[in-house]
Amino acid sequence: MDEVKYPVLTEKTIRLLEKNQYTSDVNLKSTKTEIKQWIERFFNVKVMAMNSHRPPGKKKRIGPIIGHSVRYKRMIITLRSGYSIPLFSNK
């Protein structure tokens, strides 16, 4: 469960859900093949395509020191038709 951190829910990602595309933030050092294998095993789905990008980190200032916020990788996962991933648990 360390590979995928959490799903991303924005206006754009909700529109992508209609195209059977799911967006989530993942570990920065994970590769596409690792994420694909993990998603297929954990959710029992078939992944058709994957896109990834690393958004730029925001600058943070603490006194005279300028640093950056934690960077992450965002994956857009396209599933084959007939498959879906539950975003929220029923609890």
End-to-end CA distance of the chain: 19
φ, ψ for residue 21, nearest 5 deg: -115, 130
Residue 15 maps to which CATH number?
Answer: 3.30.70.330
pTM over 0.85? The answer is no
Domain assignment present for 21: yes
Does some domain include residue 11?
Answer: yes
Q: Which two tokens stand for residue 18?
A: 């209609």
Per-residue tens of pLDDT for the chain, all 91 residues? 577 888 889 999 999 999 999 999 998 888 999 999 999 998 899 999 999 998 888 888 888 888 888 788 999 999 999 998 887 554 4
Domain membership flag for residue 91: no
- Within a domain: 30: yes
H or E element at residue 32: helix 32-43
Q: Kindly report the CA angle at 17 between 16 and 22, in degrees rounded to 5? A: 85
The number of domains in the chain is 1
Q: Which domain holds residue 25?
A: 4-56+70-79
